[in-house]
Structure 1
Amino acid sequence: MSTLKRAGYFLGLPLILLAAWIGYTSVQTNFFIPEPAVLADRFFHIWFSERLMSDVLPSIGRLLAGLGLSIVAGVTIGVIIGYVRWIRWLFEPLFEFIRAVPSTILIPVLLLLIGINDAMKITLIVCSCIWPILLNTVAGVTSIDEVLQNTAKVIGLKKLDRMRYLVLPAASPQIMAGIRQSLAVALILMVVSEMFASTDGIGHWTINFQNRVAIPEMWSGILLLGIIGVVLSVVFHWIQKRILAWYEGLKENEND
């Protein structure tokens, strides 16, 4: 598929919705649905002039920090658990229990233990995002073909080499699937933590605008969060294509 055609598919629906929005606001006035020009003005004035350094960048920083720690911890622990059978049997029931606990319920606990600061918000993101990555990593490691593992042992590959050249590459498709799931979770928890336990950030000001019935300003915060989500998704797919280039090639060959 050509790049132009892909761009058309990517932008087609947003452009249709934008046209419908412009058409609706041009014939009818609704207090809760601002005109696109008004929203655009508030969007750039608030988030790229007034609050870029004090709110937008700190929010993105907390999001990336929580996601990065989740990836490192989730992959590391997941590989160990998946590779060592007795550890998997020992911890699997505990992990399933902890994963079932909603992360938002941890906010009061983390507020008491850590306080209202960046560490609390990052910890909340990690407490939720780590599970999709960890469990997908375990599934990826345990699903490696035993013939491949035995072959690696027979030819004399050391444990570190087996981990580098066999385990991690073979598990990488499922690891990336776990990271993809965690992207949306990280964004949601960044917003939730800032709404209920913060004095700054995109989530804090979005709920603040809603409480003040500043409708265009509130929608501008929602728009910014949507754009951040899209950017994260695009960047992730770009990275995934390069990390899993061999895997994508195998899938294309199978389809042919």
Structure 2
Amino acid sequence: MKKPLIALAYALGLPIVVIVIWWAGTLNATSPFVPKPVQLVQTFFATWFGERFVTDVLPSLSNFAVGTLIAIVAGCLIGTVIGLSRDLRAFTEPIFEFFRAVPPPVLIPVFGLLIGVDDRMKVAVIIAGAIWPVLLNTVEGVRAADAVQTDTCRSYGISGIARVRFQILPSAAPYILAGVRQALPIGIILMVISEMFYSSAGLGFSIIQFQRRFAIPEMWSGILLLGLIGFAVSMIFTLVERRLLRWYFGLKDLENAS
């Protein structure tokens, strides 16, 4: 019972301290650009828990989920194929480094012209940015497969899809999930940025509209919502990661215990 309470204290300790400092700092403040905590909470529920939740929040989350999922699956598949071939890695590395260096937001006008100014463009922008951490980490994970395990598979005649499934992917899983962890916040960032261009709905569009109308509490409430979404996504991913890598964290715990 003590460990969950300690973990909860660590998780909530700093946010509570920040809120207390924020409350104390705005206690006698009159600036309209920094809302007080109580005012922000009231504005948050009034703004987002109504019609705007359906028209703005759900479409944004849908684009984020679709784009990030496609980026993860494509990154894993392409990274596995490339990681298995030394020649293919050498052939693709220059072009990958080029496209990875291109900031995805600058592709928004290009995608707008080629795809159209709809949800497909927003999903494409998310894929263009979120795929790289997964793809490159998958390549490194496949390359780092244990040589002894590889020799054992060769000795027992395990090859092809069976080797990829039972040796390569489990061995590369920590690398892949590390890439997924990096891809998730990138997907959220690009979700917002893509909605600031050629859009009439979504979280990014709403935050920009609030800023232009000087609806400062509403603007801050949108930023708060994005932070909560990022926190929720991180917590869900941590639970999934712990379940998928039980064997890996078990080995880590044994190493720490010894």
TM-score category (smaller protein): over 0.9
The Cα of 1:159 is off from its aligned counterpart by 1.7
Cα distance in 1 between the residues matched to 2:138 and 2:73: 11
Cα distance in 1 between the residues matched to 2:18 and 2:148: 52
Residue 10 of structure 2 corresponds to residue 9 of structure 1: yes
Contact persistence 2:133–2:182 (CA under 8 A) = yes
Question: Structure 2: any 5+ residue segments left out of the alignment?
Answer: none
Cα distance in 2 between the residues matched to 1:76 and 1:253: 32
What do residues 168-203 of structure 1 show as CA deviations (whole Å, max 9, x unaligned)?
000000000000011111111001001122110011
Partner of 1:229: 230
Partner of 1:168: 169
Partner of 1:218: 219
Cα distance in 2 between the residues matched to 1:224 and 1:161: 44
TM-score calculated relative to the size of structure 1: 0.97
Q: Secondary structure of 1:22's partner? A: helix
- Tell me the matched-pair count: 256
Cα distance in 2 between the residues matched to 1:4 and 1:123: 42
What do residues 132-170 of structure 1 show as CA deviations (whole Å, max 9, x unaligned)?
100000000001122211110111224222111100000
Partner of 1:179: 180
Amino acid at match of 2:58: L
What do residues 41-85 of structure 1 show as CA deviations (whole Å, max 9, x unaligned)?
211111111301111011001001111000100000000000122
Structure 1 window deviating more from structure 2 (32-41 vs 177-186): it is 32-41
Partner of 1:250: 251
Q: Secondary structure of 1:11's partner? A: helix
Partner of 2:137: 136
Partner of 1:208: 209
What do residues 90-119 of structure 1 show as CA deviations (whole Å, max 9, x unaligned)?
111111111111111101100100111000
The Cα of 1:28 is off from its aligned counterpart by 2.1
Cα distance in 2 between the residues matched to 1:137 and 1:99: 15
Amino acid at match of 2:174: P
Contact persistence 2:125–2:190 (CA under 8 A) = yes
The Cα of 1:21 is off from its aligned counterpart by 1.7
Aligned pairs (5 A) from 1:1-256: 2-256=3-257
Q: Secondary structure of 1:51's partner? A: helix
Cα distance in 1 between the residues matched to 2:51 and 2:37: 20
Cα distance in 1 between the residues matched to 2:107 and 2:159: 42
Cα distance in 2 between the residues matched to 1:158 and 1:151: 11
Dislocated runs of 4+, deviation >4 Å: none
The Cα of 1:29 is off from its aligned counterpart by 1.9
Contact persistence 2:83–2:142 (CA under 8 A) = yes
Amino acid at match of 2:194: S
TM-score calculated relative to the size of structure 2: 0.97
